[in-house]
Amino acid sequence: MGIRTAQQYFDSLNDGRVVYCLGERVNDVVHHPILSICADWMAVDYALQQDPRYQDLLTEKNDRGERASFVFRPQRNRADLLRLREIVKLWARICFGKPTGAKFVAKDGLNAVTVVTPRVDRKCGTHYAQNVETYRQYMQDNDLSFALAMTDVKGDRGLRPSKQVQHQDFYVRIVEERRDGIVVRGAKAHISQAPLANELLVVPCRGMREDDKAYAVSFAVPANAKGITMISAEPEVKEPGNYFDYPISSSVYINDAMVIFDDVFIPNERVFLKGEWQFAGDIAYMFGNFHRLSAETYKAAELELLTGAAALMAEYNGIEKFTHVQEKLTWLTMLTEATEIMGRAACEHCVTEPDSDLVYPNPMIANIAKLYFSDNWHQATKYVQDIAGGIVATLPSAKDYMNPETRDLMDKYFGGKAGVPTENRLRLVRLIKDMSSAYEDVITLHAEGSPAAQKLAIHALADFDRYKAAAKRAARIHDGTDHPIYSPLPEFPMRLSK
């Protein structure tokens, strides 16, 4: 088929899927007043692929000479990862910091199962890598959109999947094995854009033990498969189409839905893990490596936007020369640029998977970058709110500004620095309000993994032997241990002045 148009994508969603939003069953997800925001945002992927300005970045010719989306390709070297990054950055810059979602999250899941399934096959004699390859080809040939369903609803977070008390379905599990496939049950939470995706790629969200075997499952399934119900996340936007009051949230609705699997049949050829519990954690971890790179990439674009809003607001308020404001702008610049640099570094220092021609982003750098920007996001919005003032909380709505009876009053009294139209100031205030919402705080903290997940990874990857060798050398501790970097170094101080 080659690459699809936006219209072909929209038409493909009329497939009987079971979606709820704001208390009602939605029969037409494309023309629903709120879900259409998500559909339009996702369709940007397809519009850009058709655009000659971006086609060479976003697509490649396949063996048949047809254009295919680059993001479906396995990542084989540094250049591939850097190109993937440029793609995410383009998507994010176009969509106000939120990369268009047709393939954004699930491409990282596809990369994860691509890297890990050969490990499973080598150890267990399975044939999952071939299933992944066939699936990849299918996705590429039909240019489908997909969502990545990793996060289980989990129940009691202190208990492993098989040890849950209230019921056994807090994590998606295999409830029946048939000759031609498996039947799965359970639910995944916060699955971005699932109600508007063609396919769902399902992976485990944590490491498992042997008694969690039934939960060590990965597969792909069409979003309209029998037994799947999707309940949309409550939309942030209160008035679709009101770009003055909701400049971002009326343009992007990610729809992080709950996806329920009520005895869904998955044919064998779409199964990528079936009980090999030792590899559940590998898939979750590998998804994290790829998805944290995506996170720092789009977040750098979002931080450009936030820092720009702060700098503009400082000018509009006439405070850009005050030291405390310049300090905040400097700090915001550091956060923005460091996030960008670390994302690039995770690609430059990528890791080659042994016995393969595949690479993945440097896990240490990717995890540090995600933790760094998410840990500092609340501080960043605090600074921007500080620069903007209380008006972020109290500004009347666009309806009052558009009302001729109050417009002149608002123009006169909401003015800032001379020469800046009041309307520009008010629009910027709304942008800052949208960007510093509770949704933005939570997505930054938890999406792409909670802080504890990054801390676990960083601690596990830390080269404490190197750090300890440095400390022992400086403290003159000679305990008989050698270190390849520190032991061969010359004595110091050298007393060269004697």
Residues interacting with ligand FAD, by CB under 6 A?
105, 148-151, 154, 157, 190-192, 256, 442-443, 446-447, 449-450, 452
Cα 321 to Cα 81, 161, 329, 335, 446: the distances in Å are 40, 56, 11, 21, 36
Distance of closest approach, residue 106 Cβ to ligand FAD, in angstroms? 8
Comparing CB distances to ligand FAD, the nearer of 157 and 179 is: 157
Contact 222, 199 (CB under 8 A): yes
* Identity of the residue, 158 or 390, whose beta carbon is nearer to ligand FAD in the bound complex: 158
Residue 305 beta carbon to ligand FAD: minimum distance, rounded to whole angstroms: 17
Name residue 135's amino acid.
Y
Helix 78-94 × helix 35-50 angle, to 10° = 130
Smallest distance, ligand FAD to C-beta of residue 247, A: 19
Give the residue with the Cβ less far from ligand FAD, 93 or 446.
446
Q: Which residues does residue 259 pair with via DSSP β-bridges, in sequence order? A: 188, 230
CB of 315 to ligand FAD, least distance (A): 32
CA distance 168 to 342: 40
Residue matched to tokens 């629903």: 32
Smallest gap, in angstroms, from Cβ of residue 197 to ligand FAD?
10
CB 448 within 8 A of CB 150: no
> Between 57 and 258, whose beta carbon lies closer to ligand FAD?
258
Minimum separation from the CB atom of position 487 to ligand FAD (A):
37
Q: Cβ 379 to ligand FAD, closest distance in Å?
A: 19
The rounded distance, in Å, linking the Cα atoms of 156 and 163 is: 9
CB closer to ligand FAD out of 359 and 447: 447
Which of 193/385 has CB closer to ligand FAD?
A: 193
Q: Which secondary-structure segment (H or E) carries 25?
A: strand 24-26
Q: Whole-number minimum distance, CB 139 to ligand FAD, in Å?
A: 17
Q: Which long-range contacts (CB under 8 A, 24 or more apart) does 448-454 make?
A: 448/288, 448/291, 448/292, 448/294, 448/295, 448/370, 449/288, 449/291, 449/292, 449/370, 451/371, 451/374, 451/375, 453/288, 454/292, 454/367, 454/368, 454/370, 454/371
| Whether residue 354 has a cis bond before it, omega within 30° of 0 | no
Cβ-based nearer residue to ligand FAD, 292 or 328: 292
- CA-to-CA dists, residue 50 to 7, 42, 101, 142, angstroms: 12, 14, 17, 15
Nearer to ligand FAD, 233 or 300 (CB): 233
Residue 203 is encoded by which pair of tokens? 């992976």
Side-chain half-sphere CA neighbours of 303 within 13 A: 30
Reading the block at residue 152, the tokens are 């289980």
**C-beta of 149 vs 364, nearer to ligand FAD:** 149
User: In the complex, what is the shortest distance from the CB of residue 448 to ligand FAD, in angstroms, rounded to a whole number?
Assistant: 6
